[in-house]
Structure 1
Amino acid sequence: MDSLPDEILLSIVSLLEPSELVNVQFVSHRFLRLSRDSNLWKRICHEHSTSERRRKRLQIFPDHADPAIVELLRAVDTYGGSWTNERDPLVSSEELQLHRNQGKKKAALLAMWDPSYSDEKVDWYQDFIQRHAPHKISWFQSARHGHHDDGLHHEATGAGILYDDGGLADMLIAPLEDGSISVWDASGSSKKRGGIIARSAVGLLPGKGPDLDFDTRIRQSQAIMTETGAVECVSIDSRQKKGFFAVQNTLNEVDLRTLQVISKTPYPFPITALSESRHPTPLTVGTNWTLHLHDTRKPPSTQTTARTELIGGAASPGIQTGDFGGHVSLSQPGALSILHLPTAREWDGNGDIWVGGRFTSMLNFDRRYFPRLRGTVHSGARLSCLTAIPHPFIPRNLRHNYVAQYKPTLLHAAKTTPGYTLITAGEYKGKGALEQYSLSSSPARSINSSPSSSSDSPTPKSDIRGECHYQNRQTCSSSKLLSVAAHGTRLVFSDGDGNLKWVERDGSTPVREFNINGDEQARSGGSGGGGRPEMESGWGEIVQKILPTVNPSLHHERTANVPLGEDNLVVWTGDGRLGTVGFGSEAFDAEGAAEAAAEAGLREEEVRLREREREYGAEMRRALEHQSRELRWLRGYGL
């Protein structure tokens, strides 16, 4: 066996199932290297993908499929099967000819599915784990005073990640409802992962100092910290180790080394969104009615802030903006998400600041000419989150090759064209909306927010190379989408029902999903067995924000060298809890470790008493859930 070349051994191990390939890795260093071959796992990812399983299922059960899907899959299969009509005059054997054509067909189907780009390095072994391995949710230690059973824990009112120099998560930073800042260890290589490693004084952010008694500080801090309820209220600068925390209409700049406030900047209205913070680029601050640039290099302004009043509303249904003292005034509230694009990218006819929110158009600004509005792009949806990937947008019909006459050269040309894909998540007529827009230096493959381009309604051209956006408002979710992020070669988003869903980069093909309430139900011993609990849609926890543990702003500098098991997701829930979603690895139990340490000094009788209290609380919860299900059942009969 040792004398066989790697090519032959790789052909042999490629016949194994994924679970067997994992076991082969323990044989030797040579087999470890061969069984993690990226091209091998890329083919395995394709064979286990939803689109390939559908195609094979259609061949076996053609009469049990949706007619629309049948037509689509037959078109794809026809395109891949066109190779079988080719005849190589140098091959005389029919069997050899068939073998070669089958190989070309598999290569064509793999190329049509491939979600990666030519300049993107993907660890397909890790990608397969993230697609198919069992998920694990690990909850960070609760920030509290006293014991958990005393009910003195404090919820997080936001979340941000401090990344190390390699672009991996180092610390999780979150403001708490008592006005303090808590720091957790988020490093994947740390034994204290998930535990609290630092905590500021209570009342630090709202400015409630020790001149007040402890109970008054907590009560007043909770009223201030929970009043606005902004999701994008934390922005972490990993370069300068600074954090920006929005509390009502005040922006707090905090030194994360000392957890002390450096400066406070007031704004005329409550702050609703903060952009990414990356020195020396100014921070973009969005309030209910205005947009501002906050440059940390400038000293804080001491002049009084003038409030502006809009009289009569907008003259037209569109977004009207104006310059009032160096900032933008909006006629419709309010900005919920602000995205910064790199200024070093190739010019695509748009600015580098995108703003989305409760209004139905995305606002685009060029930082060099701020506060002048560069243009708008009409979406129709009310957006909760904006993000982007540093790769060109691939039109859906070109990505799937619906029409047989389009050649792979067109797909290759689209993938090699410089550009970005702008991704939005929100709500359209009560349902979830996941949308993608093309930002490219090629005018035929890009939206343009300039008013002169008449792009307020970015209707794609009929030509396949002219499509510049895709809107999924049918299959992504029956409830509003709350957050979206890029995760490997996929997109992940959360909705108002507590679901986390992964889709391919086409924005619609499902990869996997789970409900965080199902995990909680299984953990508490309720019904559901790890699936979705028996509760009405919308009940339970939701994921308000998704934070990748690999720095998204360094995505264009990334290679496939991210350590195995560290490309995970940090989630912030509606109940103010923080956790990590991982795949295929053991979940850490920071809360359990903290409980064990707290109970180590208790007497045996106290431990048994707390255990009985926890059992009683769980039993009461199950009883109340059963009662609510009965009430909903009776309500269905009009009682």
Structure 2
Amino acid sequence: MHHLPDELVLHIICYLEPEELVNLQHVSRQFLRLSRDNKLWRNLCFEHSAAERRRRRLLPTTADVDPRLAELIRAANEVASAFPLSVHDPTAPSADVQVQRNVGRKRAALLANWDPSYPGEKVNFYQEFIQRHAPHELRWFQEARHGLREEGLRHEATGAGILYGEGGLAEKLVAPLEDGSVCVWDASAREGRLGCVVARSAVGLLPGKGSDLDMDTRLRQSRAAMTETGAVECVSVDSRAGKAFFAVQNIMNEVDLNTLQVVSRAPYPFPITALSEARHPTPLTVGTNWTLHLHDTRKPPSIPASASPPSSRCELIAGAPSSVPFSRLKTGDVGAHVSLAQPGALSIAHLPTAREWDANGDIWVAGRFTSLLNFDRRFFPRLRGTVHSGARLSCLSALPFPFVSRSSSSSSPVNTGYTLAAAGEYKGKGSLELYGLSPDPEKGVNSSDSRTTRNSSACYQNRQTASASKLLSVAPHGTRLVFSDGDGGVKWVERDACAPVRALNINTDIEKADTARGESIDAGEGDIVQKILPTVEASLHAARPEVPLGQDNLVLWTGDGRLGLLGFGQPAEEEWKDAVEEWGEETVERGREREYGVRMREALEMQAREMRWLRGYGL
């Protein structure tokens, strides 16, 4: 077949199944190149998509349904596809040719309607097919330990951030641990050490518990400080400057990732609940329980790195943030601060500063309040506008592509703009929302003249029920959106936030891993994914879409403090054999430790229920 033209060979192999195409790639370089043809895998992604499978499943068989219903379904199908299969004169000599032509036109229309890529976006559909349909593989990062291996000491991560390289791919995973140290893992797999611990700071570094205390005291006080606030967005990594920012209670620590030493400490009046992304020289946005601040890393530190953080705390009475004398406490903010009318800023999203000014504010804030807050960094702290959501939002994520609603009647496609994805909870259900940030002020969901989502020209999708439980995190992944819920589920949907792609539950993978190690774990124990971190920067898909095969994965941070890498397809075992610990004699002890944790959690939950019951009687 090597004498045949490539077009003819490609036409022949398009009848093969995906498994056969994968095997064909090993035959020769020519078949490798042809078997990864982008149009070929684009068609395969479409044929195996949930929307196309549903359409084929609903195709009527006229012999089994009522004739009137069959005619109605046939008419609706023709209207949807805009290309009827029938011809005016079936007896004409060219009738068969016309039918085949109509079939091709209908398929082309369905394919164009499904295509998830935006105009000008280059998508590797071979990698898309793998991420959509190949078996997933969840691998856990090596656990950080102190002391001898016989002591069995291990610590949970209280946050996570990724250090990206110059190409926009993940190089290091950075996380604070419950003992107050900072741990760094290899996330690049360039040297076959993916998942291994490569650096570790001293115990008590972040809460400022130094060597003047004995080890037991340092561990006890560090755990109390690291786990008190419980913020999810407490880590922000500046890949350009090689620094990371860690929020511990009301102190933000700036750490040099090359030396793992604290460079500066910036105090804030209330416990920090959210940090924006860090990208030098853009200031960070810091959210506390009651305030918002801008933090400029070029400003001299408020507290020397060698000094201990202040132990003073501020407490609000009757929710009145204006009564707190902020002038008495030096902070790391730039200019004035914003006082929140309601507590709980949980997520802060920055739009890229490299874009042209497009009538959208640079900073978006969401949390326990029911509206999204929008600020223009040039006029901070003045509120630019709000967008009513109605949901309690947990996470925001900005996509570098515009959002076009399915109900949009606009004939001209939108080629510029951004999409703001928001995940949270509305009336006990998981809510996934999309807001189109158009450069045209007339089509924006937010503006300074108080127009909100009632704007009929705006493209948005508000309070889309995506799960039976609260959504915790959302992130872009290829041409899809991925989010996690309170039941331990991780789900992928198309960019319309409606069409399902695939789903999994991490508890199933944890159970398999623990069973393989010989651990006996209570079946009732459930873990959740608190944060999803893509190993490819979101801007990379728009700037340089050639992502190496197998590198577009997800890092998961779970509620039990675990860190794992979620990939697709069969990974190379040699990349992970150094990252998997030698369990052996530690297996029994680890099983007992996990079982003890489960029992303690049940006891604390029972105590909380009893306290709520007694409170109802005024006790």
TM-score range, shorter chain: 0.7 to 0.9
SS in 2 for 1:154: coil
What is the aligned partner in structure 1 of residue 307 from structure 2? none
TM-score, normalised via structure 2 length:
0.86
Question: In 2, are the aligned partners of 1:346 and 1:419 still within 8 Å (CA)?
Answer: no
Name which of 408, 413, 418 aligns with 1:420. 418
Residues 405-462 of structure 1: per-residue CA shift (max 9 Å, x gap): x7xxx56x3242x111110000001110000001102345321242x1431xx1353x
Distance in 2 separating the partners of 1:199 and 1:495: 31
Residues 142-182 of structure 1: per-residue CA shift (max 9 Å, x gap): 11224677452010010000011000000000000111000
Question: In 2, are the aligned partners of 1:185 and 1:192 still within 8 Å (CA)?
Answer: yes
Residue 571 in structure 1 maps to residue 556 in structure 2: yes
Residue 433 in structure 1 maps to residue 431 in structure 2: yes
Structure 2 spans left out of the alignment, 5+ residues: 305-309, 323-332, 607-619
SS in 1 for 2:210: coil
What is the aligned partner in structure 2 of residue 545 from structure 1? 531
Residues 526-561 of structure 1: per-residue CA shift (max 9 Å, x gap): 9xxxxxx9966xx511000000000124443131x1
User: Offset at 1:325?
Assistant: 6.3
User: Offset at 1:329?
Assistant: 0.8
What is the aligned partner in structure 1 of residue 176 from structure 2? 175
Name which of 352, 375, 384 aligns with 1:365. 375
What is the aligned partner in structure 1 of residue 612 from structure 2? none
Residues 296-344 of structure 1: per-residue CA shift (max 9 Å, x gap): 11112479999696877599xxxxxxx9961111121111000000233
Name which of 464, 473, 485 aligns with 1:483. 473
User: Offset at 1:119?
Assistant: 1.4
Distance in 2 separating the partners of 1:310 and 1:61: 68
Name which of 402, 426, 451 aligns with 1:454. 451
Distance in 2 separating the partners of 1:152 and 1:51: 49
Distance in 2 separating the partners of 1:624 and 1:248: 28
Letter paired with 2:531: K
What is the aligned partner in structure 1 of residue 5 from structure 2? 5
Note the 1:40-189 alignment, pairs <5 A: 40-60=40-60, 75=76, 78-84=79-85, 93-146=94-147, 150-189=151-190
SS in 2 for 1:26: coil
User: Offset at 1:27?
Assistant: 1.0
Distance in 2 separating the partners of 1:71 and 1:161: 53
1:556/1:594 CA distance change after superposition, 3 Å: closer
SS in 2 for 1:550: coil
Question: In 2, are the aligned partners of 1:484 and 1:494 still within 8 Å (CA)?
Answer: yes
Residue 36 in structure 1 maps to residue 36 in structure 2: yes
Residue 285 in structure 1 maps to residue 264 in structure 2: no
State percent identity of aligned pairs.
Answer: 61
Question: In 2, are the aligned partners of 1:389 and 1:421 still within 8 Å (CA)?
Answer: yes
Letter paired with 1:459: R
How many corresponding residue pairs?
576
User: Offset at 1:32?
Assistant: 0.6
Name which of 512, 524, 527 aligns with 1:522. 512
1:596/1:385 CA distance change after superposition, 3 Å: closer
User: Offset at 1:524?
Assistant: 3.2
User: Offset at 1:87?
Assistant: 7.8
Note the 1:244-393 alignment, pairs <5 A: 244-301=245-302, 326-393=336-403
Distance in 2 separating the partners of 1:71 and 1:307: 67
What is the aligned partner in structure 1 of residue 497 from structure 2? 507
Distance in 2 separating the partners of 1:252 and 1:356: 23
Question: In 2, are the aligned partners of 1:139 and 1:591 still within 8 Å (CA)?
Answer: no
What is the aligned partner in structure 2 of residue 582 from structure 1? 567
User: Offset at 1:490?
Assistant: 0.4
Question: In 2, are the aligned partners of 1:55 and 1:77 still within 8 Å (CA)?
Answer: no
Distance in 2 separating the partners of 1:429 and 1:335: 19
Question: In 2, are the aligned partners of 1:140 and 1:591 still within 8 Å (CA)?
Answer: no
Question: In 2, are the aligned partners of 1:481 and 1:493 still within 8 Å (CA)?
Answer: yes
Question: In 2, are the aligned partners of 1:195 and 1:590 still within 8 Å (CA)?
Answer: no
Distance in 2 separating the partners of 1:40 and 1:10: 8
What is the aligned partner in structure 2 of residue 19 from structure 1? 19
Distance in 1 separating the partners of 2:482 and 2:353: 26
Distance in 1 separating the partners of 2:384 and 2:37: 47
Distance in 2 separating the partners of 1:74 and 1:275: 51
Distance in 2 separating the partners of 1:193 and 1:79: 48
What is the aligned partner in structure 1 of residue 218 from structure 2? 217
User: Offset at 1:345?
Assistant: 2.6
SS in 1 for 2:142: coil
1:616/1:535 CA distance change after superposition, 3 Å: closer
What is the aligned partner in structure 2 of residue 635 from structure 1? none
What is the aligned partner in structure 1 of residue 461 from structure 2? 470
SS in 2 for 1:121: coil
Distance in 2 separating the partners of 1:324 and 1:240: 20
Question: In 2, are the aligned partners of 1:141 and 1:590 still within 8 Å (CA)?
Answer: no
Question: In 2, are the aligned partners of 1:136 and 1:587 still within 8 Å (CA)?
Answer: no
Letter paired with 1:470: Q
SS in 2 for 1:100: helix
Question: In 1, are the aligned partners of 2:229 and 2:273 still within 8 Å (CA)?
Answer: yes
1:373/1:581 CA distance change after superposition, 3 Å: same
Structure 1 spans left out of the alignment, 5+ residues: 316-322, 399-405, 527-532, 600-606, 632-639
User: Offset at 1:17?
Assistant: 0.5
Question: In 2, are the aligned partners of 1:350 and 1:374 still within 8 Å (CA)?
Answer: no
Question: In 2, are the aligned partners of 1:193 and 1:588 still within 8 Å (CA)?
Answer: no
Letter paired with 1:440: S
Letter paired with 2:437: L
Distance in 2 separating the partners of 1:325 and 1:72: 63
Letter paired with 1:377: V
